[in-house]
Amino acid sequence: EAAVTQSPRSKVAVTGGKVTLSCHQTNNHDYMYWYRQDTGHGLRLIHYSYVADSTEKGDIPDGYKASRPSQENFSLILELASLSQTAVYFCASTEQNSGNTLYFGEGSRLIVV
């Protein structure tokens, strides 16, 4: 049974519209992350969180907000979606120590038109 689930798995959004990507983990992990993957490229960190009600900026936070209302849930919000935000978004979780494995969701494919 998947321990990190993302929704929606796929979405088409209109430029200027609001998009919310949701992530739920049942791993009881403290850390959660949102990454962006563009075709043919690696993962870039958007936002992360190490405790509920607190989020941190990653390497490419502009145009994105994050919300961590509970340990299990971590959302990525695009208030005004733009064409350049077309990508696949991955959520991941891990335990507190830096040597621990990341557990990924299956990704959310976002197309902005």
Partner 1 sequence: AQSVTQPDARVTVSEGASLQLRCKYSYSATPYLFWYVQYPRQGLQLLLKYYSGDPVVQGVNSFEAEFSKSNSSFHLQKASVHWSDSAVYFCALSRGGSNNRIFFGDGTQLVVKP
Residues that bind partner 1 (CB under 8 A): 4, 31, 33, 35, 40-43, 45, 48, 50, 90, 92, 94, 96-102, 104-107
> Per the structure block, which two tokens stand in for 13?
């959004």
CB closer to partner 1, 10 vs 82: 10
CB closer to partner 1, 82 vs 96: 96
CB closer to partner 1, 70 vs 98: 98
Instruction: Please list, in sequence order, all residues whose beta carbon lies within 8 angstroms of the beta carbon of residue 87, skipping any fewer than 6 positions away.
Output: 36, 37, 38, 110
In 3D, which of 10, 18, 7, 23 has the Cα closest to residue 82?
Answer: 18
